[in-house]
Amino acid sequence: DTAVSQTPKYLVTQMGNDKSIKCEQNLGHDTMYWYKQDSKKFLKIMFSYNNKELIINETVPNRFSPKSPDKAHLNLHINSLELGDSAVYFCASSQDPGQGPEQYFGPGTRLTVT
């Protein structure tokens, strides 16, 4: 069974479009994250949700909006896509910090904006 899954794995779209990436975890974790890995391979946190509440919101354009319908899901919606949004987006989950900090990552979604 896949612990953290993301769909789609690849996404090619044009500038100005709106797209969503879905993430689901079946580990029973309370916390989920979105990371962006850019062309320089930096893995940077974007958002984190704990029990459906936003707890980390890094300096990310307003065009990016995470949504957590329940604690097993964290979706990422991106409006008005730009060329610079091209990257690999990783979803991750973890237990609460006091129970162990390791995160479990999904396989990534490679977004290409043309």
Q: Is residue 28 a contact point for other proteins (CB under 8 A)?
A: no
Q: Is residue 21 a contact point for other proteins (CB under 8 A)?
A: no
Interface with other proteins (CB under 8 A), residue from 7, 19, 60, 105: 105
Backbone angles phi, psi at 112, to 5 degrees: -120, 120
Binding mask 41-70 for other proteins (x = CB under 8 A): xxxxx--x-x----xx--------------
Selection from 56, 39, 37, 59 nearest residue 47 by Cα: 56
- Given the complex with other proteins, which of 45 and 72 has the nearer CB atom? 45
- The shares of helix, strand and coil residues in the chain, as percent rounded to the nearest 5, are 5, 55, 40
